[in-house]
């Protein structure tokens, strides 16, 4: 599953955002760990989703979710994010992100890079990437995910979501 998901390239309009997933830590280390976004208990993942605008007869617009890619990002550096984007996203895409500092140089990699300040956490700009983060059922089903197995669980989730409309 992981090889097939990592070889797929996203194209068109792509939403990208990051999420932090709590991972299993031994009990003897829990007293010394800090809490919150920069905690050692959290793993950063990058969520990239193909997103296409749709419009019906009444003028109501929504977005269609295409392929999904989730990858563990072990580094906070811009270079790691740039390398991940260059491998996963086609260079002729329109990329939507938030105003994170690690996304500044992405306009050199993709054709168009649109950075928007999100006023609401469920803003329509990054709608599908936020839904993918919210529906990630890792902690609901497995409860504890170890760091070394996290990418496998993400690959399984992406594999199922990307093949949701295939009958066989």
Nearest to 125 by CA among 104, 105, 96: 96
Nearest to 85 by CA among 14, 150, 19: 14
pLDDT in tens, 99-146: 888 888 888 899 888 888 766 545 566 666 666 665 555 556 666 678
pLDDT in tens, 62-95: 667 778 888 888 776 788 888 888 888 988 988 9
Answer whether 0.85 is exceeded by the pTM: no
**Distance (Å, rounded) from C-alpha 48 to C-alpha 128?**
9
* Helix, strand, coil distribution of the chain in percent, nearest 5: 35, 30, 35
Q: Which residues are bridge partners to 116 per DSSP? A: none
**Distance (Å, rounded) from C-alpha 3 to C-alpha 44?**
20
pLDDT in tens, 38-65: 677 778 888 888 887 777 666 656 667 7
Which pair of structure tokens corresponds to residue 1?
A: 């599953």
């Amino acid at each position: 599953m992981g090889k097939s998901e990592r070889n797929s390239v996203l194209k068109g309009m792509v939403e990208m955002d990051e999420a932090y997933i709590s991972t299993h830590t031994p009990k003897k280390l829990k007293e010394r760990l800090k809490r919150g976004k920069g905690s050692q208990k959290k793993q950063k993942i990058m969520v990239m989703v193909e997103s296409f605008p749709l419009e019906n007869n009444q003028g109501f617009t929504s977005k269609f979710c295409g392929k999904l890619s989730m990858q563990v990002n072990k580094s906070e550096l811009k270079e790691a994010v740039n390398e991940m984007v260059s491998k996963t996203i086609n260079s002729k895409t329109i990329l939507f992100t938030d105003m994170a500092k690690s996304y500044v140089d992405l306009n050199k990699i993709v054709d168009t890079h649109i950075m928007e300040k999100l006023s609401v956490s469920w803003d329509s700009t990054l709608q599908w990437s936020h839904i993918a983060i919210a529906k990630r059922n890792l902690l609901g089903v497995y409860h504890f995910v170890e760091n070394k197995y996290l990418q496998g669980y993400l690959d399984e989730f992406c594999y199922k979501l990307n093949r949701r409309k295939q009958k066989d």
